[in-house]
Amino acid sequence: MATIRQIRQRIKVAKNIQQITKAMKMVAAARLKRAQDRVQAARPYANTMREMMTSLAKAVGAEVQHPLLEVRTPRNIGFLIITSDRGLAGSYNSAMLRRASELLREYDPTRIKLYLIGRKGIQFFSRRGFNIAQEFHLNSAAVSFTEAQDVTRAVRQAFETEEIDQLILLYTKFKSAISQTPTDIQLLPVQTPEVEETAASADSDYIFEPDAQELMHGLLPRYLEGQVYQALLESMASEHGSRMTSMTNATENAGKMISSLTLQMNRARQANITREISEIVGGAEALKG
């Protein structure tokens, strides 16, 4: 059985851990608020761009030709995978790496090229001998559109030079602080949004200047950059949300541990006092005899 001194030491350690996790929770909460605001601010742009691409796809039909739309036999497959630089983020990284591993098992390893964002993903796939074509180190606290353009430029060049024939983007979609979902989409060749029947009447009144095909050529690169940027924002918000939830649980668990240890210490002290009283009474009875 642990002594009172040992229990006090454990309580001290638990209190120190509780202070650290509480501070990390507060930092993650502040960053989550900013990241969530950026996600919500970017979504209208992404939705509007998707609507515009839908209208253009309807107007040009199957006539448009662009390097980003070129469908080839997928001999070499690229994967753009977004993870975090730091741990202590709950299941954020493990869920993404598990989803990526499941997806990679479906392909020949010799034909896979990885484009990795985040140290956790880089370390994970480096240890397993995957072919890492390029690594990206971004500002996880506040990712910028310029950084998204740099990533897009790299994967676009790889596709246009036929280093890869298809590119899959894996990121974590943000729903709330306690709900994030690993998501994968085909990034290249670009799949223009399908035209919905319900929107046909509204789209028929559009007049494009310049013509729809020229607009499609100009907007495709921007559409691609927008998809990457949105994925980065969603992933960063998911990371901060998962870290905040994880640190909240850790802080609560530390509190429960402190309460349990305090109760254990009080019981040990009470047992010591009872034993000492028994010894005193026993000694007094012995003196009387």
In a domain, 119, yes or no: yes
At 209-229, the pLDDT tens digits run 777 777 777 888 898 999 999
In a domain, 42, yes or no: yes
At 145-189, the pLDDT tens digits run 999 999 999 999 999 999 999 999 999 999 888 899 999 999 998
Question: Do residues 238 and 140 lie in contact, with contact meaning Cβ atoms separated by under 8 Å?
Answer: no
In a domain, 284, yes or no: no
In a domain, 88, yes or no: yes
Answer yes or no: is pLDDT of 248 > 90: yes
In a domain, 21, yes or no: no
Whole domain around residue 124: which residue ranges? 34-195+202-242
In a domain, 228, yes or no: yes
For the chain, what is the domain count?
A: 1
In a domain, 186, yes or no: yes
**Is the bond leading into 182 cis (omega within 30 degrees of zero)?**
no
Which has more confidence, 140 or 262? Answer: 262
Residue 38 has a CB neighbour count (10 Å cut-off) of 18
Q: Give the residue-averaged pLDDT of 129-134.
A: 93
In a domain, 84, yes or no: yes
pTM assigned to the model: 0.84
Give the long-range contacts of residues 134-141, CB within 8 A, separation 24 or more: 137/85, 138/232, 140/84, 140/85, 140/86, 140/236, 140/239, 141/31
| CATH code, domain with 178 | 3.40.1380.10
Answer yes or no: is pLDDT of 195 > 60: no
